[in-house]
Structure 1
């Protein structure tokens, strides 16, 4: 039997997505999220008018989490997939009821100096119709 590959990496990425990103969102505290992101990480989305918005997470994500989100213990998230190849990975996370919003997040992660970090996030906000 062949030794399974990427199990350790999958669990490390899952940890970043659940215990840094997810927990930080639920508690509305960017300080919990920050260790899961590379210092050069960026985030982008399209607003309700169809315009591209975003930039460095230190300017576009962390202030929003700290100043506009509220703790959301009722929020639920599921990792839809994690795709790994060597030191690169992508993941999708769907979240419901995070500070009153539902999100679909797509993450790109790299294993930098032995540690998986989010380097890019794009997302869609699922507004109620």
Structure 2
């Protein structure tokens, strides 16, 4: 059995993930918002090792209120794994408003369009 090749799907997912990267770089949630389902969630672990997060609107509110444009910000899509209408992806970013993150995304293809359903993240100590 040969492994399926999802070139078209991969390219569509890259476009979605690039909306997230660009929104972070410009500190503008309106750029990244179309990448996410309205029901999406975001979770991470805070400085006290406690679970933090909830509805994706929390990410948008933080981007718009606490972040600033970061022209030197860099983000790279580390991997994308696709099976049918489900996918997962990892993005590493540096200098997003002075922070470095590793983000893991779960995506589904709904009504012919890839959308982020959930995001979990790790905040790195900035260099």
Q: TM-score, normalised by structure 2?
A: 0.95
Identify the residue that residue 11 of structure 1 maps to in structure 2: 11
Aligned length: 125
Identify the residue that residue 98 of structure 1 maps to in structure 2: 96
Secondary structure of 1:16's match? helix
Identify the residue that residue 74 of structure 1 maps to in structure 2: 72
1:58-112 per-residue CA deviation (whole Å, 9 max, x = no partner) reads 1x10000000000001001111100000000000000000000000000000001
Coordinate RMSD, CA, aligned: 1.3
Cα distance change, pair 128–75 in 1 and its aligned pair in 2 (3 A): closer
Secondary structure of 1:61's match? helix
Q: TM-score, normalised by structure 1?
A: 0.94
Unpaired segments ≥5 residues, structure 1: none
Q: Is the 8 A contact 2:88 2:107 kept in 1?
A: yes
